[in-house]
Chains A and B, each alone.
Chain A
Amino acid sequence: MYQTNYHRASSVADALKLLQDAEDGKFVSGGMTLIPAMKTRLAAPSDLIDLRHIAELKGISVEGNKVTIRAGTTHAEVATSRELAAVCPAICDLASHIGDPHVRHMGTIGGSVANNDPAADYPAAMLALGATVVTNSRELAAEDFFTGLFETALDDDEIVTAVYFTAAETCGYEKFPNPASRYAMTGVFVAKNGGDVRVAVTGAGGDGVFRSADLEAALAANFDASALEGASIPAEGLMSDIHASAEYRANLVVVMAKRAVAKARRG
């Protein structure tokens, strides 16, 4: 790891000020992506601004079916929140399968959405649930927020402070983890609200997380795994790498969508 200068921010305003004063600063929350990237010198920020001790970035609140998760909330906290499980168990289930227990104690939802790793789990949930990403300066719909591989609409001096969404009537998430890295080689989040069904896919898209209109139409007609029998999605535009070809991922999208629907129906 190259040299860096560490700063612990006490508030969002303090963090912004610290970043402004830094030459090439980066915000760090749980650090479960950034610290390993710095160890391998893939990232070398001159300054690290630690957001982990900012009280205003912590906590989950549920009012009726409106859910707000502040950015500094860890995956372990999302996974074990009873309040959240009562209205949206699928997001708890998703969080409980990110990384491993040690990673879940540190990694945060804000860090995950801000990093927008094309194989991360949360972006699929955000897109399928029609979530809003809140920053220190504005609010963005998930579909406007995630813009490409590791790319978001965030400005350099913008901090994700929370996400909020209305819990769907029924939803579920399934992923096919890479056998070595355990990142999603394809993950599908399905959410149903009355006749409206959203299907968001992570780990497969060449431009990151995306929605599948074809699968959504099939499931809107019949929200059952059987509705996807014989369904297919085009391989064009999907990622192809040493782990899986685009064609293989296209098949996985349908298989994971079926499993996600089955899981959602089981509740």
Chain B
Amino acid sequence: MSDVSMVVNGRKVSGHVEDRTLLVHYLREHLGMTGTHVGCDTSQCGACVVHMDGKAVKSCSVLAVQASGSEILTIEGLAATADADLHPVQAAFREHHGLQCGFCTPGMIMAATDMIRRHPEGLDEKTVRAELEGNICRCTGYHNIVKAILAASEKMKGMAENKETVAA
């Protein structure tokens, strides 16, 4: 067992966990934040993507102890970073119907936000599709997801660095 402490969506949290606890299980079962999903157990589907110190990672492939000391942003905290009810990427997914069952959506949105941050110059369809390599959706055929990400990227262009930190 180890003590862990980290900042999750701007809030300092700490706990005592088994060393084998995955970050996603710490978020879901210890903190009760079930927005981050487990879709596959084989590190392939990307439903569990969160941002660790500003970068997209698969929270099913990182131990909570590895993440101790870091800043984590999950889907629950995303809108607050844009100081709005919905983050522009969330709004674009709604506008363009970028989901069907919705299970992969939290991971898709966290991956998309990271993708847009890394491409402040803007995105094209080919890049978006290549960058979605680590996120699997079994409903949509990706078409509307790609459309939503392109629309959000267009909207956010010019905001060179998207703020990752939540105002305390």
Contacts and interface: CB of A to CB of B under 8 A. Distances in A.
Contact of B133 (A6, A32, A101): A101
Interface of A is mostly: mixed
Interface in A38-87: 38-40, 48, 50, 52, 76
B20 interface: yes
B111 interface: yes
A1 B20 contact: yes
A48 B115 CA distance: 31
Contacts of B161: none
A155 to B, nearest CB: 25
A6 B56 contact: no
A48 B18 CA distance: 13
Contact of A32 (B19, B61, B118): B61
B131 A101 contact: yes
A102 B65 contact: no
A206 interface: no
Contact of A182 (B42, B46, B61, B133): B133
B46 to A, nearest CB: 7
A8 B4 CA distance: 12
A6 B3 CA distance: 11
Interface residues of B, number: 29
A6 B19 contact: yes
A99 to B, nearest CB: 7
Interface string B135-166: 10000000000000000000000000000000
Contact of B66 (A2, A52, A99, A103): A52
A102 B49 contact: yes
B7 to A, nearest CB: 17
Contacts of A101: 56, 111, 114-115, 118, 131, 133-134
Contact of A105 (B18, B42, B57): B57
Nearest to B68: A8
Contacts of B2: 6
B111 A2 contact: no
Contacts of B42: 36, 39-40
Interface in A3-42: 3-6, 8, 28, 31-32, 35-36, 38-40
Interface string A167-203: 0000000000000001000000000000000000000
Nearest to A36: B43
Nearest to B132: A100
A176 to B, nearest CB: 15
B58 interface: yes
Contacts of A6: 2, 19, 63, 65-66
A31 B65 CA distance: 12
B96 interface: no
B111 A102 contact: yes
A102 B134 contact: yes
26 contacts: A4-B19, A6-B2, A6-B65, A6-B66, A28-B66, A31-B63, A31-B66, A35-B22, A35-B62, A35-B63, A36-B43, A38-B20, A50-B66, A99-B133, A99-B134, A100-B133, A101-B118, A101-B133, A102-B49, A102-B56, A102-B58, A103-B58, A103-B134, A106-B57, A106-B58, A182-B133
Given A1-B20, A101-B111, 12 more contacts: A3-B20, A6-B66, A32-B61, A36-B42, A99-B134, A101-B133, A102-B46, A103-B58, A103-B134, A105-B55, A105-B56, A106-B57
10 interchain residue pairs of minimum CB distance: A100-B134, A100-B133, A6-B19, A6-B65, A105-B55, A36-B43, A1-B20, A35-B61, A102-B58, A102-B56
